[in-house]
Structure 1
Amino acid sequence: MFRASGDLHIAALKRTGWIINHIEGGHSILMKEGIRLHQKKENYDFSSSKS
C-alpha cells in the first residue's frame, strides 16, 4: 500500500492556491487568500476576544 508523504500533500494543496504560512514543529500551517482558519498566536488580536 502506498502512502503519500507530507511533501506530496503540500504540493497538491499548493496547486490549488494554498501557501505555507508557517511551520509549527513538524506541521506545515497553510493559508489561502480570503480564508482565515489559523493565526499565529503573536498575530492574534486578543482585544476583540470576549472574557
Structure 2
Amino acid sequence: MTANNCNPASGRKHLSFIDRYLTLWIFAAMQTFTQIFQRWKPSFKASTAGSPMP
C-alpha cells in the first residue's frame, strides 16, 4: 500500500473549540451535575461499594 491517500497536516480541517476539548467538557459537566445533585439530595453518597442493596 502507498501513502498517497493521506492528507498532509496543512490540508486538514481544524476542529472547533468544542470538538477539540470535548473530553474536558464531558468531565466538567459530570462534575457540575454531581455537585448539583449532592446539594439537592445531601444524603447521596458517591461511593456505595460494599453496601447491601435496600
TM-score normalised by length of structure 1 = 0.30
Q: Which has the higher contact order (CA 8 A, sep 6+)?
A: 1
Please report the TM-score for the alignment, with normalisation by the length of structure 2.
0.29
**Higher fraction of helix:** 2
